[in-house]
Every structure is written in structure tokens, then in C-alpha cells.
Structure 1
Amino acid sequence: MTSAHHLPAGKAVSDPYAVDVSPDSAGWRYSSLRVLELPPGGTHLFPAGDSEWIVLSLGGGCTVTVDDAPGQDAFELRGRSDVFAGVSDFVYVPRDATATLTSEAGGRFALTGARCTRRLPARHGPADSVPVELRGTGNCSRRVHNFGAAGVFECDRLIAVEVVTPGGNWSSYPPHKHDEHHPGEESELEEIYYFEIAGHEGTPGLGYQRVSPSGRGSGTDVLAEVRAGDVVLIPDGWHGPSMAAPGHDMYYLNVMAGPGDERAWLIRDHPDHAWIRDTWPGTPVDPRLAPPDVRRRPDGTTPDTAPSQ
């Protein structure tokens, strides 16, 4: 099944970006993603325009200079070796600012963005401030880095998290949606999935992504083999599962934004599959995921009760 909502690696290139998804190119109103590859000693300047941005390392570090950050206009982004190496620090760039990225050793960086109204201050988010949680159990186990989650880091509209799924496991399960506004129950959010898949001895890895129509919007329908650098756009629909092929760990970066007055990630599970949660209590989390210091959700919920993504 092919879909205009699946953008294989190379399809969303726009110089200098390896991935460039804007509200205009996606056909929606808010969410953006750019992936920038800098060579050693490389520099990139970008105007934030009408969007707020979080600069996140996909591999390597850089200095992020924001033209009007009072008292400290340069933020050191230490980064990480790759997306499977753990949590990264990050830098928030406000709308109407101009930012410059400079990397002595080179690296790859995600610019996650959302059109917004409020102009918040530029800030650095330390890696040790990022809540890490385990969701699901058994072969539904995954690890979530909530660096830009609602209620964790202040933004106007942008919500961004990253998910690591061990090979053979399913994420975004049970399938869920957030394409309607129901106060206290469901948020209306556009969403971008950006994938990295671990290879093996020089062989590229792969996984699969499913999105099925919910009866809202465009009736998004995707069943895609995804590889490193692929993007899936989700304006509406039940999304999940995200399936990591055995032997190939899966990483995806989620970028979300929507029109609601409240910045919140509220979801509805697919009614045909929500029962799977009842099988989780008493089943251990995949041991490949669980460092002993993983922090639970701020509201105290456990992996058995945490929402899916």
C-alpha cells in the first residue's frame, strides 16, 4: 500500500536539509520538521519565522546562537553519538528569532517546529532534566524520552518526544488517534514521525508503520516499510502499530501541534485493540530497555497505565 503520507528517505529533501517538512508542504497548519547535516566546522543560519523550534541532536554536538537571547546568546548542545545512545540535551529557539548552528566535529540535528503565537525565551534543556519513561510491557515495551512533552517543557504549541523500540517489539500500540477536539478526552494534533532504524553489519534495518482511517479528515491510510530517514505524516487517523523488525531497533521522533487552546496530548485508543492494556499488568518490561534509574511519569503512573505512542 503506497501513500502520499509516507515520505521515503530523500523524498523530502530541500537544500540544505535532508528532511524538510513544513505546514505548506504537508498540507496542514502547524507542525514542521527539518533534519540538518553539518560537516566538521559547518555553520547553518535559519530564521525561526512564525514558528517555535527545538534543536535536538541526532548525532554530534553543536553551538546554537540565538540573536536575541538576553544574557546568554550561545547555548552548547553536547548531543550524543546517535539516537540509540540515550537522551540528548536540546535548545529552544523562539519565533521571530534567528539561530545559527555551528558544529566543530560535524553532526546531524533535528529542528522540530510549530507555528505559534506566543514568543517564549530561548533556553537550553539539559539531558538530565528529560523525563524518561517505559511504556507497555513484554513485546509492547518501548522507551520514551519526553524532552518536549506537554507539562514537561514549556512551549506555545510544539509537542515533541522520541521513542526507542527494541527489535521485534511494537510501539504506538494499541493504535490511537488525536484528530478531534473533545475537552479532557482527545486533542486535535497534526503529527510527524521521523524514523531511524538500526542496521546490522552494514545491512540497513527496516520496520513497518500503520495508519488507518478514523472517519475524520482525509482518511489517512498507510502501510509502509520504513527505513532510516523516512517520514510518515499523520493529519488524522488511527496510528499504530510501529513495528520494529527482529534484530533492528527502531527510533522515531514525534512532532505534534494543533489548534487547541490547551497544549495537551490526549488520545483515544482504537476500540478494537484497547483490550491489550489489560494483558500488561504482571508482565515484565523488556529487559533490553530498563536502566535502573528510569523515571516514571510526573503523575506517578506506571508502564502498565501510561498512554500509548
Structure 2
Amino acid sequence: MDHRDTAHDRHVRAGTAADGPYALDIDPKTAGWGYSALRILELPPGGSHLLGTGGSEWIVLPLSGGCTVQTEGITMELLGRDSVFAGVTDFAYVPRGAHAQIASGAGGRFALAGAKCERRLPARHGPAPEVPVEDRGSGSCARRVNNFAAAGSFDCDRLIAVEVLTPGGNWSSYPPHKHDEHRPGEETKLEEIYYFEIQGEHGFGYQRVSPSRPGGTDLLAEVRSGDAVLVPDGWHGPSIAAPGHDMYYLNVMAGPGPEREWRICFHPDHTEGYR
């Protein structure tokens, strides 16, 4: 499948890819790929939204505020959180071929992470206390990963999603790595979306994607809250947080492989001395 032609298209600035109630709306068609999707839903106090899942599975993930998700005859109460920097949150899984009513009494901001899929799994609640939290790296490369829908931690058909929190001044997504080829046992082909929020009114960060083959993705983007970066291919990383401004990003991944797994290849020029 043809990917987007320019680096500019792969840096989606806040508010530039929105449709209806969404502050951000990235689907496979607009991204130029086959599987991964992300919508950012903003609800006012007392607001609600009907999500039709179509041929994709979706996770409703509170970014700020809480909500209820009604689908398949069940109601899931998501207590949510004050912000993405406040800790882990519970979430809801909604299968393909379903409708879900998302409602919030106090209002809030919610990520809808999706992937085109084949299997229809049951709707269910992901409790916050069961989210595996991993401290990765050390020193200036230290960051925290919330593996709420990582392969092996929560059952989906194709969707893989995690949250990464990087302290101000630190690097994450490092060493640069890629997952743009299918090599059994070594690397899985996955399309990836990075969605960013930066702490502080004037906060910013940087995201690098460099080519893994001639004509591949080549991007250095200054990112701010609400921005997204699309990674169809290439070495991605580092993700750099400006000093004094912690960085959050949500990674949404999916691909065509026969197994739902995250196998990556590190850039050979940037692994020596990594802690």
C-alpha cells in the first residue's frame, strides 16, 4: 500500500486532522496504510458520543476526566484521571461490528485507539490496577511505560497500544529502532502512531524518524500537545522532551503479521554505550 509522500504529511499538528467531535482523527485511509487508527474525542460536561466500530477493534482510554462506555449490553465505568501525567487509568475494549455510547458527566478528553482486525473479541473493562508499569532505561534515557494494551498484557486481535512518560530533558524511543519488515522471530511489520501531550503551557519536544531504506521516512518534528506523528517505516527515535517539560506519548500500532507481537530491530549505529 502506498504511504504518504512527504514528511510534512507525517507530522499531524493539533486540530489539522479533525472531523466532527474529534480533535484528531487518523484512520488507515487518511494515513495511507492498512490498520492503525487514532481519534481524540473531546466531550463537554454531560456530553456523549456514539462510536460505530465497523471493521476495527477500539480501546477507549481517558486522557483527562472519566466516562461510561455502554456496549454489547454492558456498562463500563472508567474513573479516568486528571491528566496523562497523573498515573495509569482504566480503559474499555470495544469489538469490531459494535456500537458504543461514550458519556461523561464532568466532560473530558479521550483517546480512541483502533486497528482493523479479523477476530471479534468480547467487550471488556481494563482495570487501572492491572496495568503493567515498566521503568525503562536509566539516567538521561529513563522513562516510564504503561503497557495497558501491550502484546501479552491485554488480549486484542491486532491492536497494540502503550503510554510512555519521559521526564523533561530526557530522551526516549532510544536507541532508534524499527519494525517495518516481516522477519519471523526477529521483526514484525507494524504501522505506528505517536500522539503527544507536553506538560506546561509552552512545552514542546522533538521526534526523529530516519530512513531505513532509500526513499523512506525522514522527519524531524517539533511536537506540542495534541500533535501526532505517523510512522509507516523507518528508524524512529529519539523522542526528546525539553528541559522542564515532561513528555507523554501514546503509541498505537497494528500490522499484517500472523501473530500479534512487537519485535523490533535497533539501529546498529546507536546501541554502543546505551544504558
Range into which the TM-score falls when normalised by the shorter chain = over 0.9
Q: Is the 8 A contact 1:63 1:77 kept in 2?
A: yes
Equivalent in the alignment of 2:117: 116
Equivalent in the alignment of 2:246: 249
Instruction: Give me the whole-angstrom Cα distance separating, in 1, the residues matched to 2:183 and 2:272.
Output: 22
1:209 aligns with 2:207: yes
* One-letter amino acid matched to 1:215: R
Deviation at 1:276, TM superposition (A): 3.3
Aligned partner of residue 147 in structure 1, secondary structure: strand
Structure 1 portions without partners, runs of 5+: 281-309
* One-letter amino acid matched to 1:213: P
Instruction: Give me the whole-angstrom Cα distance separating, in 1, the residues matched to 2:186 and 2:202.
Output: 39
Change (3 A) 1:114 1:139: same
Instruction: Give me the whole-angstrom Cα distance separating, in 1, the residues matched to 2:25 and 2:163.
Output: 18
TM-score by length of structure 2 reads 0.96
TM-score by length of structure 1 reads 0.86
CA RMSD of aligned residues (A): 1.1
Equivalent in the alignment of 1:9: 14
Deviation at 1:4, TM superposition (A): 1.3
Instruction: Give me the whole-angstrom Cα distance separating, in 1, the residues matched to 2:169 and 2:148.
Output: 25
Instruction: Give me the whole-angstrom Cα distance separating, in 1, the residues matched to 2:272 and 2:85.
Output: 30
Instruction: Give me the whole-angstrom Cα distance separating, in 1, the residues matched to 2:9 and 2:170.
Output: 26
1:41-120 aligned at under 5 Å gives the runs 41-66=46-71, 68-69=72-73, 73-120=74-121
Instruction: Give me the whole-angstrom Cα distance separating, in 2, the residues matched to 1:204 and 1:97.
Output: 40
| Percent identity of paired positions between Structure 1 and Structure 2 | 69
Deviation at 1:246, TM superposition (A): 0.2
Equivalent in the alignment of 1:135: 136
Aligned partner of residue 182 in structure 2, secondary structure: strand
1:13-28 aligned at under 5 Å gives the runs 13-28=18-33
Q: Is the 8 A contact 1:189 1:258 kept in 2?
A: yes
Deviation at 1:3, TM superposition (A): 2.1
Equivalent residues, number:
270
Q: Which runs of 4+ in 1 moved over 3 A?
A: none
Equivalent in the alignment of 1:266: 263
Q: Is the 8 A contact 1:30 1:258 kept in 2?
A: yes
Q: Is the 8 A contact 1:90 1:124 kept in 2?
A: yes
Deviation at 1:121, TM superposition (A): 0.2
Instruction: Give me the whole-angstrom Cα distance separating, in 2, the residues matched to 1:131 and 1:60.
Output: 21
Structure 2 portions without partners, runs of 5+: 1-5
1:157 aligns with 2:169: no
